[in-house]
Structure 1
Amino acid sequence: MKQTTMNRTQRTVCTVLAAAALAAGLSACAPLIVGGAVVGGVMAVDRRTAGTQIEDEGIELRAANRIRETFGDRVHVNVTSYNRQALLTGEVPNAQERQAVEQLVSQVENVRSVVNDLTITTFSSTLSQRSNDTFITGKVRASLVDAQDISANSFKVVTERNVVYLMGRVSQREANRATEIARGVSGVSKVVRVFEIVSEEELRRIAPQPAPVTTDDTKPSGG
């Protein structure tokens, strides 16, 4: 009985730590993970190429800078790019600026398409709301990590005003399963799927291959 309780505790701790690492967004303190490589003892699978991951980071940075330079404090817009598809969330005061933000982002270098889910309102989300969104994102990520039948690192999770957005290159089965998991997280009011659906065959093709196991034949035997 004590052993079972210990195993459950260890599993819970591992889940929380893994979710925290994901939420950190590969910060300086987190293990470096690129394209399925193992660094610091953690295995992650990113179905984008290394070049596309860099492009996505560039899109987010350039888009944010242009929005700030053009609109200042009149809007609150978050740009999340996955495989060069830019998701826009946040608030704008009117339909004209909503369209203007979308057009501005669509002209950013390397952007393939834009998903505009900006809310028209004169009230930006509060610090408390944004903190709660961050907490929800962490809970969704932890739930994905805890699932045994999907790869949590194949998904990007964004939360805005209790609405969870799921992004990634996934199969239909993975999309349905992740949606089911996110909907079951407390505090989530809605789940929006921004997936690129690929076939199971395509997933097998793009999945990172494990590194070959090598042995040191020069090591002397015996004592």
Structure 2
Amino acid sequence: MDFRPFPLIAAIGSLTSCSPAPVDGRFDNTGELIALSGGDAGPQAACHTCHGLDGGGDGALVPRIAGIDAGYLVRQLGFYADGQRRHPQMTWLASRLDEVDRLAVSTFYAGMPIPDTERVNDADICTFGDAATIYHNGIPDRDLASCASCHGEEGEGVGAGNPSLVGQSAAYTAEQLRRWRTGERFGDPLKVMHDAAGKLRDNEISPLAGYIAYGPGRSHRPGFLVECP
């Protein structure tokens, strides 16, 4: 019998023809790797360590980012990277993510559902004073537009550039309003937030932030027309 050596090239070809095509990992597509591991910035920069696995924040000064528009989140990361928003950890993290990474992780969080928040009693709404009126009607005497005109009657956000406020803590919202007032936070192209926060009085900020956290909306907050004693 005539035995002939099997060509090496043919053998290699037969092996490579059976190899599966490369498959993109779900982490690469969704930005989940960056959110859970910090990507090139390292584990100390993992988003979930502060914002939670559900993206809901810590209920205090770390905001809810789940369900926020991806374009808005990308823009805020850019602000942190170039110094328009200042926060030691966020500035450090954002500066180590390139534009592709920022978009990937922002898209990941944008696709997450907004976590449910706790319900408050109707009586608790009374502690917010005139905040409901300010939120829904503004203060015409001060030329202050209503918060609802940009952020929605239920805090759902109006358009991609105006983030939803549902699920944000009162502490975080109050802190951001104060930063807008003092100019520590900027980047709003029309200066709407800077001007609006500047027209608020000191004693109106905390009640307004509390109402935003617990007023009407998806988080089962009671109606703003509750009659207080």
Normalized against structure 1, the TM-score is what? 0.27
- Of structures 1 and 2, the one with the larger relative CO (CA 8 A, separation 6+) is 2
Larger helix fraction of residues = 2
Larger strand fraction of residues = 1
